[in-house]
A = this chain, B = another copy of it.
């Protein structure tokens, strides 16, 4: 027959699936001889069976429970409901994955009108006994019977009012007796039955309540948010009660074996004398730091230290413990791996390895790659932050901390920055024309737009702090005024932005610089030892390139060339090139752009030296470069000797219904091959010059964007190759270079074997590939995606984590087909997924050669790549 109930001495930490996290660890602690109040666990199997059986507990299971209860009674020498020496138990949920506060707990079970007297006699504390009974009735009514908690609170509060008490503690035993009677009356009225005096009946109902609580709405929501399977079910832990509220020799507390904030090796936590766990949560009294136990409970303190050591060497990780001291004796109620900050996580992982408790692989596997991000950015000094006033709240669009004087226009920001001022660019939303102003600002604040707005995407790319969509801040750019609540700020005001939280503050705050040496450097070195995936970075400038190198990038996977054309001295020629209907005029404008491009690429090569650099040909729709304001249009008209109407018409005619699916990417190069030729010339010429200058061999990778057909790739490969060879001949130089493509259109993945005939590498542009595979425009579907995630229609945001079933299948198909044609084809990914750990693991398993992400994601990517390699090696 199946076994459903396990005493604590029958289980172990490896039985988590069956006993839940709490139950497994209680069993483990029992097994290694730590002081755990005895008890038993009803397994998750029993919970699942409860649901299968239509919300009924099987008789055989209840028999097993009572068998274990009687063993518990034997061990404790007490009997549930006994009128002399009653056993009291707690009934707690405990699922496989931690779901803090989501499910129900019943304490002090076993109390009734008789056993409460016995408890009074045993503890010689009538008030304690009655208060325990009062709490039990209230908790049982709420949790098990689903009665309205407020009605109980009303009785309780009216008693305090009647007596003129301020604090609960002032209630006297007769007050509590009266409350208990009123509670029982209320229970009778609401349920049409008396409060159950049979402790076994109490137990059965409490177990059912815990099972039921697995499917309460907040638990369901929590699981959806954390991707936890709804079918796992919860275990139920039944444990004899110990009391931290039996007097000044009793206490309750929580402790970490190491500091969860800094990682320092020292027991850390807090405790409350003469109290039960729920008092700590209620926050009525302020707990004391655990270090003070050394004075108040010296023996228990050293016991706790001993337990901490035992647990760490046993679990080989920092532990988060709950304990109770009953009359000077330490009882352990829970242990689990402790949550920690990124900084602590890194330090603890390195320290544990140094202490010989874990090996390097384990140290790496312990880290949450996404968390690493936290330590790379500047943050506000926590103390100094308390000094300032919060103005509003936006989205944490790009991490970091920044302060500066408000500038409402990009132009103003540029002028101020030239004078050496620190500025924050404040706009309703940004557009490509604000780019130069964004570059020189310390941070960017917008009142509109989401996590994927222009401001957010560009700022993340630059590693610059950004708060977007701060809807409670009103920005009037024309009058240069910012309103937040009753505060009205102008250009003279200083503000601070926390890009990690989305907070906006009035005034400046001290900033703490990140430290990338020490433990961080150690862990990165270890990651490098295990990972096989190369990590490149997406860099559009020398500055990006240097930042990427600082973080350990091994090359550039995506150098976008469009941003380069927005600078003031270039945009005019770019516009002329687009707007002119005279072909000579067009060509002349392009020729004037060439020297700029040449310098752009030379700067990047100088930084990257002989590391691989993939440069993408011009990608965005041409209208993005065109003037939109009246002023700019009339300037352009003047410069080109055309009427404002002519320019406006041309601008209008280039607008598109669906620019995402319009005249962009390689389609620009097909219709204006001169652009591709100019860019090829700049790429090759710059590589030749810097190769000579530095005596190195630069091997540029020229990337054609948005290819959908073999024909496009073949056509452009020919144009690029011819031009490159022409330049090499002119320069009397020889250079290896590669021509490849982004795979970012579904069709390209399907015909990748044909495209690979003309492409030496594929770089998966999973941003666009996701948009087209799903038919989701990122600019438009923010709200829809949210609703899809809420309704469980999607499990993940496919723009954050690659959609393995759909988009991933296309990536896989393209990789396989590409290799069929060209066995050694170079494969990488340069979409934002290149910085997402789950997606990196997917790329590793698919056998891609590299991922490319923004400079600040490089360390995250390294850890994720190392973890993927370690996981794969362990499966083998």
Interface residue ranges, A against B (CB under 8 Å) = 656-663, 665, 667, 670-671, 706, 708-709, 711-712, 715, 744-747, 750-751, 754, 768, 771-777, 779-781, 783-784, 787-788, 791-794, 803, 805-807, 809-810
Contact = CB atoms under 8 A, between A and B. Distances in A.
A776 B746 contact: no
B657 A777 contact: yes
A255 to B, nearest CB: 43
Given A791-B715, A793-B711, A657 B775 contact: no
B750 A671 contact: no
Nearest to A792: B711
A751 to B, nearest CB: 6
A116 B74 CA distance: 135
A837 to B, nearest CB: 23
A773 B794 contact: no
B708 A780 contact: no
Top 10 nearest A-B pairs (CB, nearest first) are A711-B793, A661-B777, A658-B777, A747-B806, A662-B780, A746-B746, A657-B779, A745-B775, A656-B780, A658-B660
Contacts of A746: 746, 772-773, 775, 806, 810
A779 B662 CA distance: 8
A807 B754 CA distance: 15
Contacts of A773: 708, 745-747, 750, 772
Given A711-B788, A784-B671, A809 B750 contact: yes
A771 B660 CA distance: 11
A841 to B, nearest CB: 20
A751 B658 contact: no
A524 B670 CA distance: 45
Nearest to A708: B774
Contacts of A771: 661
Nearest to A712: B793
A807 to B, nearest CB: 7
A322 to B, nearest CB: 39
Nearest to A776: B661
B671 A787 contact: yes
A806 B746 CA distance: 8
Contacts of A715: 791, 793
20 contacts: A657-B780, A658-B659, A658-B777, A659-B780, A661-B775, A661-B776, A662-B781, A663-B780, A667-B781, A670-B784, A670-B788, A708-B774, A708-B775, A708-B776, A711-B791, A745-B774, A747-B773, A747-B774, A750-B806, A772-B775
A174 B807 CA distance: 82
Contacts of A661: 658, 660-661, 771-772, 775-777, 780-781
Given A671-B787, A715-B791, A746-B806, 13 more contacts: A660-B660, A660-B775, A661-B771, A661-B772, A661-B776, A661-B781, A667-B784, A708-B776, A709-B793, A746-B773, A746-B775, A750-B773, A772-B775
Contacts of A659: 657-658, 780
Given A750-B806, A774-B747, A794 B709 contact: yes
A794 B712 CA distance: 8
A112 to B, nearest CB: 47
Given A745-B774, A794-B709, A751 B806 contact: yes
A764 to B, nearest CB: 15
A779 B656 contact: yes
A667 B788 CA distance: 9
Contacts of A660: 657-658, 660-661, 775, 777
B745 A663 contact: no
Nearest to A805: B751
Contacts of A810: 746, 750
Contact of A670 (B706, B772, B793): B793
Contacts of A667: 781, 784
Contacts of A792: 711
Contacts of A671: 783-784, 787
Contacts of A657: 659-660, 777, 779-780
Contact of A781 (B663, B744, B745, B787): B663
Contacts of A665: 775
A809 B665 CA distance: 24
Contacts of A750: 773, 805-806, 809-810
A464 to B, nearest CB: 24
Most B C-beta atoms less than 10 A away, residue of A667, A776, A787, A807: A667
A658 B659 CA distance: 7
A670 B744 CA distance: 27
A626 to B, nearest CB: 16
A453 to B, nearest CB: 11
Contacts of A803: 747
A659 B772 CA distance: 13
Contact of A711 (B711, B779, B784, B794): B794
A292 B535 CA distance: 85
A750 B810 CA distance: 8
B658 A780 contact: yes
A670 B787 contact: yes
A794 B667 CA distance: 12
A6 B783 CA distance: 73
A667 B785 CA distance: 10
A745 to B, nearest CB: 4
Contacts of A670: 784, 787-788, 791, 793
A751 B807 CA distance: 10
A603 to B, nearest CB: 32
A787 B751 CA distance: 21
Residue with the highest number of chain B CB atoms closer than 10 Å, among A659, A661, A775:
A775
A105 to B, nearest CB: 34
